[in-house]
Amino acid sequence: MNTVPNPTGAAQAPAGQDLSTTTLLTAWRSADRRRTAQKRKRRATDVALVIASFAGAAVLWELLRLVGVLPQQFFPPMLDIVGRLFTELGAGFGGKLLVATGQTALTWLLAFMIASVLGIVIGLFVGNSVYASATLAPLLRFVRSTPAVAFVPAAILVAGIGLQAKLLIVVFAGIWPIVLNTAAGVRHVPPQYRDVATASRLSSLEGVRQVLLPTIAPTIVSGLRVSMSLTLAVTVGVDLLIGANGLGALINQYRGVGNITSSYAGILWAGLLGTLLNLVLLAVERKLLFWSPEYRRKNA
Amino acid sequence: MKTLAPSQRLLLGFGGVAVALLLWQFVLPPILNTRAPVVAPFTQAAGAAIDILTTELLDTVWPSILRILVGFGISALLGVAIGMVLGSIPWLQRLVRPVFDFLRATPATIIIPVAIAFLGLNSPLVIGVIVFGSIWPVLINTTDAIARVEPQYLDVARVARVARLRTMFTVKLPAGLPLILPGLRLTMQLALVLMVTGEMLGASSGLGFSLVQAQQSFDIARTYGGIIVLSIIGFLLDVILVSLEKKYVRYDSRAGKNAL
């Protein structure tokens, strides 16, 4: 048997002595165990940091209230806000918060799905054809720089004050990052990939499904991420502007009757939901894109 | 993939805009104005836009422009400055990052009702809402960019004995621009949305306010004219930011593709 250089440095074999398979295996196993322990420790530190971070923010909030930087009549104690959030959530669907959340979530989810599908389709079309892209580029550039909420009055005229008007606006707000990222992704596909698809005699639909979409998936996902934060902000904005339902309207109502603690509880809740959505999208990204070089570079 | 000559691109682009305007002028109004007039044809809307831009420049357009410039300026400066500090102090970054991520994930417009109670109406409200709601993309992208500068660049700076503060401005910041500028563009988009929403809800001047007024008095041409004016403002701001990206990020061909 040859002398194998110790790969882990774990087993202390004297120089020159043969390493049997079993010693190698134990060395590997113990290294593996150590890595798991390290990972667990790192995760524990992360959790501790998150707790410390939020606790620190709460303490800062209280300090600023005490000193008077944040006037007490507009900034209630943090514990009251958290307590109010739990009371509101405890009321379930008999309370107002979850109902309003449901209304906002419905608008957002529908709009985000429509924007994703339309955005990817338009993006593929624009990215694939130089003619389409040259024809649409100046128009799209102008249209997409319009702040979506500017359409609120027009959408009310056209579609009334229901869900349809809201969808029009939120889809408009969310579609552009997806279109642009998809088109840019298509344009940057290495030509060799196309050659491989042609050489393996894939039909054009198969080519799109098996070569194009997986290649550009990472860019599409980063477009979806941008689109998500924009659509969330715009959904709450149109809740405030159109019709009296949804999370934004509820927080406005609470403020109107002077119940500022409940307003803050609602904001905290919206932040938690936004964070949750972000985590979901990150998890999807990890599941779908763990292989992609861009994903690995970003998380190196 | 083949490329088109610039003249061809220009022609096609012009054609695209022309077709869209013709559709707006002649096809949309007959389809949608069946029960009551809800869409103004392009010529009327453009006329109203010119009217707003000429007769109401000082009363309606200028307040909005001032608010977006001040709000976005504060967001950009503060975001880059805080990002530079956080990016260079790893323990501080790890400590505040969860709260900042939380604030970024909060839909920005939701603070407007509470901000009205605190900041009152008009410019303080709109600027405050813009800053608080739009600072996060540029702040977080700057933090990441500064924290992840290529180690070789820093080695070179160390070997050349460049002072730490100078390294920050001559090495780290330029190296981070491909990430910082797309963040800045997202900040701008959010700032525009926040400006219009803020003016619609809590201002007695500005484009957002005048849009709501136009709709409530069924002045349809003005409702669409206001959109055109806001498009022009958004377009000009976008042109500025994109040209910055083109100027400073030319060494990274993927810049702008992965906004955020």
Residue B96 lies in a domain: yes
pLDDT in tens, B29-62: 888 888 778 888 899 999 999 999 998 888 889 9
Same-domain status, A25 and A107: no
Residue B198 lies in a domain: yes
pTM to 2 decimals?
0.86
Q: Which of residues 128-147 of B touch A (CB under 8 A)?
A: 133, 137
Give me Rg for the CA atoms of chain A. Answer: 27
* Nearest Cβ partner for B96 among A53, A75, A138: A53
Question: Where does A129-212 have alpha helices with state H?
Answer: 130-144, 152-159, 163-187, 191-199, 204-207
Taking CA–CA distances from B231, the nearest residue in chain A reads: A146
Same-domain status, A67 and A145: no
Domain limits for position B166: 42-248
Task: State the pLDDT at residue B170.
Answer: 87
Burial (Cβ within 10 Å: 0-12, 13-18, ≥19) of residue B241 = buried
Q: Give chain A's domain count.
A: 2
Residue B117 lies in a domain: yes
Same-domain status, A31 and A122: no
CATH code, domain carrying B217: 1.10.3720.10
Residue B221 lies in a domain: yes
Same-domain status, A64 and A112: no
Q: Is B193's CB within 8 Å of A187's CB?
A: no
Same-domain status, A41 and A110: no
Q: Is B240 on the interface with A (CB under 8 A)?
A: no
Q: Is B196's CB within 8 Å of A232's CB?
A: no
Buried-state track A222-232, b at ≥16 Cβ within 10 A, e below 16: bbbbbbbbbbb
Distances (CA, A) of A300 to A27, A42, A230, A245, A297: 26, 15, 27, 44, 5
Q: Is B150 on the interface with A (CB under 8 A)?
A: no
Q: Give chain B's domain count.
A: 1
Same-domain status, A24 and A115: no
Residue B259 pLDDT class (50, 70, 90 cuts) = very low
Question: Where does B38-121 have alpha helices with state H?
Answer: 42-55, 62-88, 90-105, 112-119
What are A53's two structure tokens?
Answer: 């971070």
Same-domain status, A261 and A200: yes
Q: Is A149's CB within 8 Å of B1's CB?
A: no
Q: List chain A residues with pLDDT less than 70.
A: 1-19, 294-300
Other Cβ atoms within 10 Å of A299 Cβ, number: 11
Domain stop point among A75, A103, A118: A75
pLDDT in tens, B129-183: 999 999 999 999 999 999 888 888 888 888 988 888 888 888 888 888 888 998 8
Q: Is B260 on the interface with A (CB under 8 A)?
A: yes
Q: Is A130's CB within 8 Å of B1's CB?
A: yes
Interface ipTM: 0.86
Contacts of B249 in chain A (CB under 8 A): none
Contacts of A254 in chain B (CB under 8 A): 113
Report the gap between the CA of A276 and the closest CA in chain B (Å). 9
Same-domain status, A42 and A149: no
Average pLDDT over residues B187-202: 92
Distances (CA, A) of B75 to B79, B191, B253: 6, 9, 27
Residue B156 near residue A197, CB atoms below 8 Å: no
Taking one residue from A and the other from B, the number of pairs with CB-CB distance under 8 angstroms is 213
- Running DSSP on this structure, what letter comes out for residue B108? G
Residue B257 lies in a domain: no
Report the gap between the CA of B42 and the closest CA in chain A (Å). 13
CATH code, domain carrying A223: 1.10.3720.10
Same-domain status, A61 and A159: no
- The residues, any chain, with a CB within 8 Å of residue B55's CB and separated by 6 or more, are none
Contacts of A234 in chain B (CB under 8 A): 109, 193
- For chain A, what is the largest distance between any 2 Cα atoms, rounded to a whole number of angstroms? 86
Same-domain status, A193 and A252: yes
Residue B138 lies in a domain: yes
Domain limits for position A275: 78-298
Residue B69 lies in a domain: yes
Residue in A264, A277, A268 with CA at minimum distance from that of residue A230: A277
Q: Is B105's CB within 8 Å of A188's CB?
A: no
Same-domain status, A162 and A179: yes
Residue B205 lies in a domain: yes
* Nearest Cβ partner for A53 among B98, B190, B230: B98
Q: Is B98 on the interface with A (CB under 8 A)?
A: yes
pLDDT in tens, A276-291: 998 998 888 888 877 7
Q: Is B235's CB within 8 Å of A235's CB?
A: no
Same-domain status, A49 and A82: no
* Nearest Cβ partner for A233 among B2, B98, B109: B109
* Separation CA B228–CA B217 (nearest Å): 19
